[in-house]
Amino acid sequence: MARYIFITGGVVSSLGKGLASAALGALLQARGYTVRLRKLDPYLNVDPGTMSPFEHGEVFVTDDGAETDLDLGHYERFTGVHARTTDSISSGRIYSNVLEKERRGDYLGKTIQVIPHVTNEIKDFLRIGDNEVDFMLCEIGGTVGDIEGLPFFESIRQFIHERPRGQSILMHLTLLPYLSASGELKTKPTQHSVKELQSIGLAPDVLVCRSEHPIPERELEKIALFCNVRKEAVVPAYDLKTIYEAPLAYHRAGLDQAVLDAFGITPAPKPNLSRWEDVMDRITHPEGEVRVAIVGKYTQLEDAYKSIAEALTHGGMANRTKVRAEWIDSEIFEREDPAPYLESFNAILVPGGFGERGTEGKIKAATFAREKKVPYLGICLGMQMAVIEASRNLAGIPDAGSEEFDHEARAKRFTPVVYHLKEWVQGNHTVRRKADDAKGGTMRLGAYTANLKAGSRVAQVYGTTVIEERHRHRYEVDAKYIEGLEKCGLIFSGMSPDGRLPEIVEVKDHPWFIGVQFHPELKSKPFAPHPLFADFIRAAKEAERLV
């Protein structure tokens, strides 16, 4: 039976619950325990798949095709444990499940209520796989007191009460604001947050206090006294230069020891932190620097490309190189020449996205990279833009474009070298979709196999000719244009096993130009950088030496 750690937040949002959860998971692994991390989100969307990146940041996709919160990316990057559909749930999914059961008559005519029906559904979710690992870490989104989160907090209260004593603990993150006028750290917001928790029947076993200033000993003692928590279980958490310092920083602050003490695990195995010491050594002692331009359409919110930013950092670590990623709004290139913006960069990355806005600018970035021999990595839409660019400028299809843009404009304007994917093979069955299907959960989602062309650059990068990568798209490059494009210097070096869906394209006689239909950034980790990103930064490093 797994031990459960519930992670909640108070005072304000964006305190770093996801990062604290991921770091704690990594520390428990360092002590030899197995872990799984989960996210419970109070919003009423069934999943974040239909949310704008400006609303919720990046959508993280699992191998089994779940569209989840970006915190699951942190969990995977820090622990290496692949997330599953059963590691993410929202109020929308919970209520949807309850209503489906009610419609089927599963409740035998009873009146459906939040307690017990909604709370039971949440508890059933929590129990999934609780015999698979030593520790189950469950993060609850939002802050204590949010009306949407109340069913989750009530479910946790019941869950802890129903399990054997000492099998579940609560870890609560709060903010200690600093008032410069009085020169003081204020503990009252933390006290009020804990009081709010206690009012719904929950009491924290461990308090993590975020602060921009050192927390004096007397303030830690005050928090422990007023919040009814042992002083050793009040853990300070300060701002860090890099998120990858979090496991070492939290260990120094005593977080993992406080958690193990709360479970009564004494003596606890000593941690082996060599993995994280190596990670920090690679970040803090680079032997060079490269500049990478990320030409995207959601650049105002860096969380929209969170996994890409981290995968670039990992690629830099693999090469002991500092990666200075700079964000450029692709719409600028629709009005101005991209050359003055891009000529000082060592590499260009064009990420995914949805809709026509900014795509002409992405196409111009691909043209610049191809013609100027600058290393280029196109991901999802970034690959499609590279194919459209080659179709227009090399293959003699001046009106090449994507069906996505015609569907959006409700007008036929382009020759669709990228088309709406209506049928594909998933496992042992065929999936069929129509352009007017509901948006939620209808894309090509999750891990799919691709076969690589022997002798191609990507085959050399991966060191194999069979790979498995995660997808999230509903438009695909049309295979009927492959022959014409390959005559113009493109190489379709990765295809689906049935040979119908192009997965990877590269440019012949170019130092490094690769477009991929999938999202390699989702599988990159600091201690296991994704091979594409590692080689992309190697190529950028070579380009930097030639300048």
Give the pLDDT mean for 421-444. 70
Active site residue 506: no
The full set of domain ranges for the chain reads: 3-279, 286-418+482-492+500-545
Q: What pLDDT is attached to residue 435?
A: 65
Torsion of CA 446, 449, 453, 454, to 10 degrees: 130
195-219 pLDDT, tens per residue? Answer: 999 999 999 999 999 999 999 999 9
Mean pLDDT of 169-182: 93
Return the minimum-mean-pLDDT range out of 241-245, 331-335, 430-434: 430-434
Minimum mean pLDDT among 201-205, 422-426, 515-519: which range? 422-426
Predicted local confidence at residue 48, as pLDDT: 84
Q: Was 382 annotated as part of a binding site?
A: yes
The answer to whether the annotation marks 490 as part of a ligand binding site is no
Residue 281 clears pLDDT 70, i.e. is over it: yes
pLDDT per position as a tens digit, 375-408: 999 999 999 999 999 999 999 999 999 998 888 8
Report whether pLDDT(547) > 60: no
- Is residue 480 part of an annotated ligand binding site? no
Residue 302 is assigned to a ligand binding site: no
- Is position 523 annotated in a ligand binding site? no
241 marked ligand binding residue? no
Average pLDDT rounded to a whole number, residues 10-31: 93
Label residue 46 by pLDDT band (50, 70, 90): confident
- Alpha carbon separation from 83 to 35, 74, 191, 227 (Å, rounded): 11, 10, 34, 34
Structure tokens at 158: 């019941």
Active site residue 519: yes
- Mean pLDDT across the stretch 346-352? 95
16 is in an annotated binding site: yes
Residue 255 burial class via C-beta count within 10 angstroms: exposed 0-12, middle 13-18, buried 19 and up: buried
Same fold, 3-279 and 286-418+482-492+500-545: yes
Q: What is the pLDDT of residue 47?
A: 86
**Alpha-carbon torsion angle 263, 264, 265, 271, nearest 10:** 70
Which one from 209, 469, 521, 530 is the annotated catalytic residue? Answer: 521
- Give the model's pLDDT for residue 387: 96
State the pLDDT at residue 257. Answer: 96
Which option is the CATH number for 3-279: 3.40.50.300, 3.40.50.920, 3.40.50.1360, 2.40.100.10? 3.40.50.300
Report the percent of the chain where pLDDT is more than 90: 80
- The one catalytic residue among 251, 314, 471, 519: 519
Rounded Cα distance between 107 and 237, Å, is 46
- Is 18 marked as binding a ligand? yes
pLDDT, tens only, 59-78: 999 999 999 988 999 999 99
Active site residue 314: no
Q: Which amino acid, one-letter code, is at 150? A: L
pLDDT at 151 over 60: yes
> Which of 138, 380, 503, 530 is flagged as catalytic?
380
User: Contact 533/542 with Cβ under 8 angstroms?
Assistant: no
* Percentage, residues of the chain above pLDDT 70: 96
H helices within 31-90, ranges in order? Answer: 53-56, 71-79
Looking at residue 7, what is its pLDDT? 97
Res 118: pLDDT: 96
Question: In this structure, what token pair is assigned to residue 187?
Answer: 């503990």
Does pLDDT of 441 surpass 70?
A: no
Number of H helices, E strands in the chain: 19, 25
- pLDDT value at residue 410: 86
**What pLDDT does residue 289 have?**
95
Q: How confident is the model at residue 429 (pLDDT cuts 50, 70, 90)?
A: low
Please give the CATH topology (third level) of the domain spanning 286-418+482-492+500-545: Rossmann fold (3.40.50)
Average pLDDT of the chain? 92
Does the predicted model carry a pTM greater than 0.85?
yes
User: According to the annotation, is 105 in a ligand binding site?
Assistant: no
Contact 459, 387 (CB under 8 A): no
Measuring CA to CA, which residue among 523, 488, 482 is closest to residue 503?
482
